[in-house]
Chain A
Amino acid sequence: MTVPLIEVDGLRKDFAVTRKTGVLRRARAVVHAVDGLTFSVERGEIVGYIGPNGAGKSTTVKMLTGILVPTAGRISVGGLVPTERRTELARRIGVLFGQRVQLWWDLPLIESFELLRHMYRVGADRYRENLATFRELLELDPFLGTPVRQLSLGQRVRGELTAAMLHDPEILFLDEPTIGLDIVAKQRVREFLLRANREHGVTVLLTTHDLADIERLARRILIIDHGRLIYDGELEALKRRFGPRRVLVVDLVEPAPPLRVDGGEVVRTDGPRQWIAFDGDRITAAALIAAVTAVAAVRDLTLEEPEIESVVREIYAGRARPEAGPIRGS
């Protein structure tokens, strides 16, 4: 058995928050931003790390990359304790913080790459090779000579992605990599990441609000809320477990009381339109449609698939006892 590339055990991070409670009075409170995380990531995985705002996602990533010192717990990334061996770790990881600029603001993009090559001590041949690859995959050529401050957001993210990968990192930490990008740019970034993972075995940990990122990229997801892990497992298993209900939307010829059909349940009506929820494991969509058309005149039909958004929403809503520990998907 191989040692996981990333190991996190009982990780905690507390912040002291000073809050004003009176004219001069201030209350000091401790916020547990990350509260006892345990998980591991194997080499070559792409893991989606999701959760609502303020759940502790960024704090976790910052501890994994050596930016923040944990309050308690153990971290090992590539065999190193991040904050103890910060610069050594920095050579082996690539980091992209969505909105924040890592490149030199007033320098042409190509000059930033040149400087990073020296900063990371990337050999000339390796640099030339990598740059050529990224220029092609991310179509950098039209703006290589443009100062970073004049780039569009999409161009900048492509530049930052290149900057994060010039030194052949083993692990990529991406915090909201596609935020603010248009569909085409998102697509390009996702394809690039998949390729880096497939061809170079780069391990990727990404936090995102865009669940489409997760669906396209990650097989495995970690869901965090209030600093605790509430799900660790495969995306498909999660969907099966929390989103077995599919919904058939029927437009009747004329309004009618909620239809009664075996295996389905009307969850909503709106004039002639009715939403019928059903369990895909117990009845097929075709059988349900047949049952519906047998009892009513139907003008139109659509089938709604469970989406990761609603699945995640359900998890947040149904998380009655977070102390119970994470749900583990198979």
Chain B
Amino acid sequence: MGELREGGALYLRIIAARIRAQLQYRASFALETVGMFFVTFLDFVVILVIFANVPALAGWSRAEVALLYAISALCFAFTDLVVGQLDWLSEWVRNGTFDGMLVRPRGTLFQVISSDFQIRRVGKIVQGLLVLVYALVVLDIQWTPARALMLAAAIPVGTVIFISIWVLTISIVFWTVDGREAANAFTYGGSFLAQFPINLYDRWLRRFLGYIVPIAFVAYFPSLYILDKPDPLGLPSILQFAAPVVAVVTAIAAGLVWRVAVRHYQSAGG
């Protein structure tokens, strides 16, 4: 427990230093945050456009979809804020930056996660919050303590699910760059590297796992419960409470896969 608290304190210390550094450039920080807000807002505009033409989508009204969207968008925004730098991992594995993390006395995942913190990503959170407020104002929800709790828990639980899945899928870079990182493979040139469809693969997998499978647990089931809506798919209602279990299972799986993946690390050069 003390170990955990000490790690948490170190995380906050590193992040605070990063934020201080970013705030040195106030104007660019402000512009980027606003930009981030609008870019994500376009996602929601698409939903609004659809509903300008149809009154309901598969039995969901505009406001109901807004609730679903807001929960999922908030979870993803927090995920991106905390672990967005995982996008850099394949680069770090390729250029050897990851070496430096292995010679420090902390967990590698901890170091990857604490290596960056882009406050401009707060713009996405603001956008998600605004959509959530809109949904809650328009919808006529019969609030009970259980429903309020469901909404409050949905965000952190969904964030854990997203983070776990991201860690799980990104671990693949420890295998796919395997051939490349071997001693003299650099000489075979960029064309060879380009034939590895890592990004495609990655994104496809991430979409499938990240959006299709767990989105049900991140936003769909919690929304059904909060709205007291019968499940159009007729799935057992116990699934509406399964999200925390899914979160724990995916988190454990992510931790295990990461551990195995790091042992596969080949490091750059010879």
Q: Do A and B bind each other?
A: yes
By beta carbon, the residue of chain A nearest B14 is A115
Say yes or no for A95: interface residue by CB 8 A criterion. Answer: yes
Q: Which of B17, B22, B96 contacts A115 (CB 8 A)?
A: B17
Q: Is the CB of B99 within 8 A of A100?
A: yes
- Residues in B neighbouring A56, C-beta threshold 8 A: 270
Minimum CB–CB distance from A89 to chain B (whole Å) comes to 8
Q: Is the CB of A69 within 8 A of B270?
A: no
By beta carbon, the residue of chain B nearest A32 is B183
Tell me, in angstroms, the Cα distance from A17 to B104 when the chains sit together.
29
Which of A103-111, A259-267, A311-319 forms contacts with chain B? A103-111
Main secondary structure of the interface of B (DSSP, over half): helix
Q: Is the CB of A17 within 8 A of B183?
A: yes
Q: Is the CB of A100 within 8 A of B100?
A: yes
CB within 8 Å for A90 and B18 given contacts A15-B266, A54-B184, A100-B96? no
Minimum CB–CB distance from A23 to chain B (whole Å) comes to 11
CB within 8 Å for A20 and B192 given contacts A33-B183, A62-B267? yes
Tell me, in angstroms, the Cα distance from A15 to B181 when the chains sit together.
9
- Residues in A neighbouring B192, C-beta threshold 8 A: 20
Q: Which of B13, B103, B107, B184 contacts A65 (CB 8 A)?
A: B103
Q: Which of B97, B104, B106, B188 contacts A100 (CB 8 A)?
A: B97
Main secondary structure of the interface of A (DSSP, over half): mixed
Say yes or no for B21: interface residue by CB 8 A criterion. Answer: yes
Q: What string of 1s and 0s marks CB contacts (under 8 Å) between B90-108 and chain A?
A: 0000001101101111110
Q: Is the CB of A66 within 8 A of B102?
A: yes
Tell me, in angstroms, the Cα distance from A101 to B115 when the chains sit together.
13
CB within 8 Å for A67 and B263 given contacts A58-B269, A119-B10? no
CB-contacts of A28-75 with B (<8 A)? 31, 33, 54, 56, 58-59, 62, 65-69
Q: Which of B13, B18, B107, B179 contacts A106 (CB 8 A)?
A: B18
- Residues in B neighbouring A90, C-beta threshold 8 A: 103-105
Q: Is the CB of A107 within 8 A of B21?
A: yes
Minimum CB–CB distance from B29 to chain A (whole Å) comes to 13
Q: Is the CB of A31 within 8 A of B263?
A: no
Say yes or no for B256: interface residue by CB 8 A criterion. Answer: no
Q: Is the CB of B179 within 8 A of A16?
A: yes
Say yes or no for B152: interface residue by CB 8 A criterion. Answer: no
Tell me, in angstroms, the Cα distance from A115 to B18 when the chains sit together.
11
Q: What string of 1s and 0s marks CB contacts (under 8 Å) between A75-102 and chain B?
A: 0000000010011101101010100111
Q: Is the CB of B183 within 8 A of A107?
A: no
Q: Is the CB of B182 within 8 A of A16?
A: yes
By beta carbon, the residue of chain B nearest A30 is B182
Tell me, in angstroms, the Cα distance from A289 to B149 when the chains sit together.
98
Q: Which of A58, A104, A119 contacts B104 (CB 8 A)?
A: A119
CB within 8 Å for A17 and B18 given contacts A56-B270, A86-B102? no
By beta carbon, the residue of chain A nearest B269 is A58
CB within 8 Å for A118 and B10 given contacts A15-B183, A16-B178, A68-B265? yes
Say yes or no for B185: interface residue by CB 8 A criterion. Answer: yes
By beta carbon, the residue of chain A nearest B13 is A118
- Residues in B neighbouring A121, C-beta threshold 8 A: 105
Q: Is the CB of A58 within 8 A of B270?
A: yes
Q: Is the CB of A111 within 8 A of B267?
A: no
- Residues in A neighbouring B102, C-beta threshold 8 A: 65-67, 86
Tell me, in angstroms, the Cα distance from A54 to B100 when the chains sit together.
20
Tell me, in angstroms, the Cα distance from A120 to B267 when the chains sit together.
23
CB-contacts of A168-214 with B (<8 A)? none
Residues of A within 8 A of B (CB): 15-20, 31, 33, 54, 56, 58-59, 62, 65-69, 83, 86-88, 90-91, 93, 95, 97, 100-102, 104, 106-107, 111, 114-115, 118-121, 147
A107-B17, A107-B18 provided; 8 other pairs, C-beta below 8 A? A17-B184, A33-B183, A54-B184, A87-B104, A90-B105, A111-B17, A120-B105, A121-B105
Nearest 8 A/B pairs, CB to CB:
A15-B182, A18-B179, A90-B105, A17-B182, A95-B103, A87-B105, A67-B102, A106-B21
Q: What are 6 A-B residue pairs whose CB atoms fall within 8 Å in the complex? A: A19-B185, A20-B188, A86-B102, A106-B21, A118-B9, A121-B105
